[in-house]
Amino acid sequence: MCYRNEMSSKSLPSTVRVRFAPSPTGQIHIGNIRAAIFNWLFARHHGGKFLLRIEDTDRERSTPEAVQGLLDALEWLGLDYDEPPVYQTDEFPRHLEAVETLLARGHAYRGTKGEGGEVVFFRMPGEDMIFEDAVKGRLEKKAKDLPDFVILRSNGTPVFHLANVVDDITMGITHVIRGDDHVENTFRHIALFRALGATVPHYAHLPMIVNAQGKPYSKRDGAAFVGEFREKGYLPEALFNYLALLGWSPGGDREILTRKEMIALFDFAQVQSSPAQMDVRKLDWMNAEYIRRMPFELFVERFQAAMEKGGVFSDPPDPAYLRRVAALMQVRTHHFPDLPAMAGFFFREDFAWDEKTVRKRLLKPGIPDLVRKYRNVLTTLPRFEASFLEEALQATANVQGVPAADLIHAVRVAVSGLGVGPGLFEMLETLGRARVLARLEVALQRYGMAGEEGAKEHGAS
C-alpha cells in the first residue's frame, strides 16, 4: 500500500481541513503550540479550515482549567479556528460504533491480553506499508513490525488510536499535521482509515523542539509553556514568528515576517526534518524587534500597562507626559516587564538608587560641587530644553576644566538613580525643571557632603 502525499502542492482545492488536537492535561507546551501554528498556517495558506479538537478522554488528567488555558493560549496567539471545538468525550458513541463496524467486517476481534479482561484488537492487514510524509518523505514498515493492537479496553473505553482516527473521519480531516512522536502510529492509523472505509488523509510530521543537550525541550530547560512566555512579556507576534521559523524556512533571507507573509509563503517542502533547538536569545532579539517596530500608539498602551503592573504609578499619569517618556523608552525596551525598573523614576520620587553607580559617578572629589553649580545654572535657564541644557552643561564643565562626561554621568544618577537610560538632555527636558531641580537638591543633600575623599561611608546609607 502506498499513499501519496500532496501537501507541498501549491494548488490544493479549498477543501483542506486540518485540526489541532491537544489533550487538556496541563499547560500547553511550546512544541504543541508549534504544531497548532503549522496547522493554522497550512489551513490559511490553502484557504481551508483550521479546527480544534479537545482530546479530553483522559478523565483523570483533563481539567476545565486546562481547557480554558488552551483556549486562552490560542486566542492570545491569534490562532482562530473555523468551527466550534469538538470535545472527544462527546464522540464516544461513534467510537463504539466504529468498533462494532470493525468487528462486523472482520477487521477486529475479541481477545485477552495480560492480566486484564476481554479487549478488542484491531487486525492489521498483514502486509508491508508505505506512506509519503510531507516532511519526512517516504516511510515504510514491514508487516512483521506492525502487530495487531488494542482498540477497546476491557472497561469498554476506546484507546487513542481508534478515537483519533474516528474523530478525524467525523471531522473530515484531510491533512494530519502533528508531532514527530506520532510517526510510527501513522501506519496503524492508516490501516484503521482503510478498514473503516474512509479516505486516508495526508500526513506531515513535525520535528521536535529540543534543548541544548538535544533532548526534548521541557520545563527544566526554561520557559516551556505558552503561558510562561506570555507572563514574561513576550509579544504573541514575536513568539509566533519565532516558533514558525523553528523548523521552517520561508526562503530568501527573511526572518521577521507578517502573518500574511507567512501564510503566503508556508510550504512543507521547506520544513526541516531534523530536530530544532530552542534559542531563547533569538526569541529575545525578535521580541525586541517587534517592540521597536510596534506603532507608537500601541507601544504607549503597552508601556502604561507594564508600568501599572509594576506598581509604578501612585496617581494616574498625565497622558502627554506618559507619551513623552514612552517615546524615550521604545527603542530600548526588550521586555515589557523590564520597564518599571528602567523608567519608574520618571513617575515617582522614591526611586531606587544604584549605589554602585552613585559611588562611581557622584561620590568623587569635586563632582557634587559641580552638580551644584549646574543646578544653579538651571534655575535661571531661559528655556528648559535639551539644546539649552546641553549648552549649559558644557559651559559649566568647561569653566571648571572637567570633562563634560563626568558631569553628565553625575547628573544622570542624581536625577534617576541609574547609570543607564535615555539621552541625558532629553531626559531632563522630559522630567521638567521642577522635578530636576528638586531631585538634584535631594541628591546633593543625600550625597553632597560625601564628595571628599574618606567620606564615602556617608553615601550608601
- Determine if 6 is a binding residue for RNA (CB under 7 A): no
Listed residue (9, 73, 66, 8) closest to 35, CA to CA: 73
> At its nearest, how many Å lie between RNA and the CB of residue 349?
21
**288 closest CA partner among 326, 233, 341:** 233
409 binding RNA? (CB under 7 A): yes
By CB under 7 A, the residues from 270 to 309 that bind RNA are 270, 272-277, 279, 281-282, 284-285, 288-289, 292
Task: Please report, as residue ranges, which positions from 84 to 103 form the binding site for RNA (by CB under 7 A).
Answer: none
Q: How far apart are CA 178 and CA 202, in angstroms?
A: 11
Partners of 54 in beta bridges: 87
Q: How far is the CB of 320 from RNA (least distance, A)?
A: 22
Alpha-carbon span 261 to 250, nearest angstrom: 9
DSSP secondary-structure letter at 363?
Answer: S
Q: Which residues from 328-387 bind RNA, rule CB under 7 A? A: 331-332
Q: Looking at 64, 106, 253, 461, which residue binds RNA (CB under 7 A)?
A: 253
Q: How far apart are CA 214 and CA 222, in angstroms?
A: 14
Spatial neighbors of 279 by CB under 8 A, at least 6 apart, are none
Exactly one of 422, 448, 451, 459 binds RNA (CB under 7 A); which one? 422
Binding mask 386-405 for RNA (x = CB under 7 A): ----x--x----------xx
Of the two residues 48 and 407, which places its CB atom closer to RNA in the complex? 407
Closer to RNA by CB, 78 or 423: give it.
Answer: 423
- DSSP assignment string, 251-288: STT--S--HHHHHHH--GGGB-SS-EE--HHHHHHHHH
Q: Smallest distance, Å, CB 387 to RNA?
A: 10
Site string for RNA, 124-163 (x = CB under 7 A): ------------xxxxxxx--x---xx--xxx-x-xxx--
Looking at residues 30 to 69 of the shown chain, list those that interact with RNA (rule: CB under 7 A).
55, 57-58
From the list 231-239, 297-305, 375-383, 423-431, the region that binds RNA by CB under 7 A is 423-431
How far is the C-alpha of 370 from the C-alpha of 414, rounded, in Å? Answer: 12
User: In the complex with RNA, which residue's Cβ is closer, 76 or 160?
Assistant: 160
Is residue 49 within 8 Å of 207, Cβ to Cβ?
no
Amino acid identity, position 166: V
Stretch that binds RNA, among 94-102, 220-228, 250-258, 439-447 (CB under 7 A): 250-258
Nearest distance from C-beta of residue 140 to RNA, angstroms: 6
To the nearest whole angstrom, how small is the minimum distance from the Cβ of residue 30 to RNA?
13
The CB-of-155 to RNA minimum distance in angstroms stands at 6
Task: Tell whether the torsion through CA atoms of 247, 250, 256 and 257 is positive or negative.
Answer: negative
288 versus 442: smaller Cβ distance to RNA: 288
As measured in angstroms, the least distance from the Cβ of 245 to RNA is: 5
Residues 178 to 207 in contact with RNA, rule: CB under 7 A: 180-185, 207
Residue 119: strand pairing partners: 111
Select the residue interacting with RNA from 110, 215, 309, 356 (CB under 7 A): 215
Closest CA to 422 of 293, 326, 322: 326
Collapsing DSSP to helix, strand or coil, 308 comes out as helix
58 or 308: whose CB is closer to RNA? 58
Q: Which residue, 45 or 136, has its beta carbon nearer to RNA?
A: 136
| Spatial separation of the C-alpha atoms in residues 335 and 49, rounded to whole Å | 34
CB closer to RNA, 215 vs 309: 215
* Closer residue to RNA in complex, CB, 63/185: 185
Give alpha helix (H) positions in 196-225. Answer: none
Q: What is the DSSP string of 21-79?
A: ----SSSPBHHHHHHHHHHHHHHHHTT-EEEEEE----TTT--HHHHHHHHHHHHHTT-
Q: Which residues are catalytic?
A: 219
Interface residue with RNA among 115, 315, 453, 457 (CB under 7 A) is 115
Site size with RNA, rule: CB under 7 A: 79
Minimum CB separation from RNA for residue 99, in Å? 13
- All three cell numbers of 284, joined, read 529575545
Contact 205, 183 (CB under 8 A): yes
Q: How far is the CB of 174 from RNA (least distance, A)?
A: 21
Nearer to RNA, 76 or 388 (CB): 388
- Cα 329 from chain centroid? 22
Please tell me the total number of residues recorded for the chain in this structure: 461
Q: How far apart are the C-alpha atoms of 249 and 33, rounded to whole Å?
A: 18
Residues 216-245 that bind RNA (CB under 7 A): 216, 245
Q: Is residue 412 close enough to count as binding RNA by CB under 7 A?
A: yes
